[in-house]
Amino acid sequence: MSVYLVAQLKINDRERYNLYESGFLPVFQEFDGEILAVDESPVIAEGEWPYTRMVILRFPDREAATAWYQSDGYQAIVGHRLAAAEGPILVVNGFDPAALG
């Protein structure tokens, strides 16, 4: 089942974050990931949103998402994101209609 990574980021250091971005795609593509959304100006339909970027990624399964995150390639760049931005990153299971019974 697909899993989704949902990141709500507040970027505090754009120059440092750009270092993260420049290395992101080559590593991400190695693990069959798909970028579904990246938005720095989402429409807030309800509530408050104190972040500057929303990202939604899809992986074929949790194992692929975990392998990507733990890979040497990603670990080599993630320090730039951690230093440049803050905010939650969630791993969310895809919806299985059969679960509704």
Q: How far apart are the first and last CA of the chain?
A: 17
- Average pLDDT of span 13-23: 97
Encoded amino acid at 66, one letter: T
Q: What is the pTM of this model?
A: 0.90
Query: Where exactly are the structural domains of the chain?
Result: 3-93
- Whole-number pLDDT of residue 90: 96
What integer pLDDT is reported at residue 62 of this predicted model?
96
pLDDT at residue 92 in the model: 96
Taking the C-alpha atoms of residue 64 and residue 54, their distance in angstroms, rounded to an integer, is: 21
Cα(7)–Cα(89) distance, integer angstroms: 4
CATH topology for the 3-93 domain: Alpha-Beta Plaits (3.30.70)
Beta strand 85-86 with 53-59 is unpaired
Average of per-residue pLDDT across 9-15: 97
Give pLDDT tens digits for 47-101: 999 999 999 999 999 999 999 999 999 999 999 999 999 999 999 999 888 777 6
Determine the pLDDT at residue 71: 97
- pLDDT at res. 97: 82
Taking the C-alpha atoms of residue 23 and residue 71, their distance in angstroms, rounded to an integer, is: 13
